[in-house]
Amino acid sequence: MRFFLILLLIVLLAGAAATYLLVTPYGPQAARLVTIPSGSSAESIGKILKRNGIVRSRWLFAATARVRRGTLKAGVYRFDHPATLLAVYDRVRAGDVYTIALTVPEGFNIFDIAAAAEKAGLATRQDFLAAEQHDTDLIQDLSANAPSLEGYLFPDTYKLSPNMTPHAILREMVQHFRQEALSLGLHANIPQTVTLASLVERETPDAADRPLVASVFVNRLAKGMPLETDPSVIYAALLENRYRGAIYQSDLKADSAYNTYMHAGLPPGPICNPGAQSLLAAMHPAVSSYLYFVSDPQNPGHSLFATTLDEHSRNVAAYRRSERERRAAYGKQAAR
């Protein structure tokens, strides 16, 4: 009888201890990232969690996994407050991994994306930009002579693991481009289409105007006229690290292949990463006789289109007059 009483006491104490370990919160007071490698067993995951101060008992974590028979997910987990062992187990079973959001708006170029990646804490701007310029093997089949990944990093918000390399991040973005291209039916003349779409993207924010802007570029190309688009001049300056926030005469005269004032035809590659609407506009430009366009002073975000140089000159004069009036009104308001 005494033996059985002692055994019962041991069982009760063990049960109480297990219950305590299961339901009593434990863990860090400050944020801590824990990486669980792919293919880890329940025992090895318990060991990792115990070593990082997330659970009290590696063995009880492994036992819980065996009893519940769940599939534990690899990845990076963020623990920032004490939690019960059961809560920790449920998170790892659900795959509630920690990710960093990287938002790439339509029209971002490789310099913008590199800066955003650094701000998000994913990599330094220098390292990310170097990968964007050198990892062109990712698009070898899409654009064999691409000078960088510009144009093929599809705009979106990406949920990324904090330990991803720049190459892995760029591979995911290129894969997203491939999926969108397939969805849009883009499978021919890809480098030319993406380059044209990038010009359209940077020239107008209005989806309705994009096919018309694309038609202007197509018409000028057909006539052998220089495209004379300012965003390409800015991009040329960015590539040579001489952009000063505005376009100067020296920029317009710079002998860069991206300077569409100096060289006819499309630039040698995209100047930004276009979204789906700009890609569609480049694939299906409007049918028009337009050769010129300028911002509409009465309808911000839209453009005024013209077929002749005289008509375009009048539109430009109206735009400049509106800009002078706007600056004068702003100056008067600021002086009050």
Q: Are residues 179 and 233 in the same domain?
A: no
Mean pLDDT, the chain, as a whole number? 92
Tens of pLDDT along 128-175?
999 999 999 999 999 999 999 999 999 999 999 999 999 999 999 999
Condensed to tens digits (0 to 9), the pLDDT of residues 268-290 reads: 999 999 999 999 999 999 999 99
Q: Average pLDDT in the 290-310 region?
A: 93
CB 46 within 8 A of CB 58: yes
322 pLDDT band (50/70/90 cuts)? confident
Instruction: Evaluate whether residue 66 is within a structural domain.
Output: yes
Cα 151 to chain centroid distance, Å, stands at: 12
* Spatial separation of the C-alpha atoms in residues 8 and 199, rounded to whole Å: 79
Q: Is residue 162 part of a domain?
A: yes
Residue 28 lies in a domain: yes
- Are 202 and 327 within one domain? yes
Residue 11 covered by a domain:
no
Same domain for 127 and 84?
A: no
Same domain (yes/no): 59, 142 = no
Q: Which of 56, 75, 94 is the last residue of a domain?
A: 94
- Whether 259 and 145 map to the same domain: the answer is no
- How many structural domains are present in the chain? 3
Closest CA to 52 of 19, 87, 88: 88
CB 293 within 8 A of CB 304: yes
Write down which residue in 129, 150, 184 finishes a domain. 184
pLDDT band at 183 (very low <50, low <70, confident <90, very high): very high
| pLDDT number for residue 156 | 98
The answer to whether residue 18 scores a pLDDT higher than 60 is no
Q: Which of 75, 94, 113 is the last residue of a domain?
A: 94
For 327, how many CA atoms within 13 A lie in the half-sphere containing its CB? 5
Range of the domain at 81: 21-94
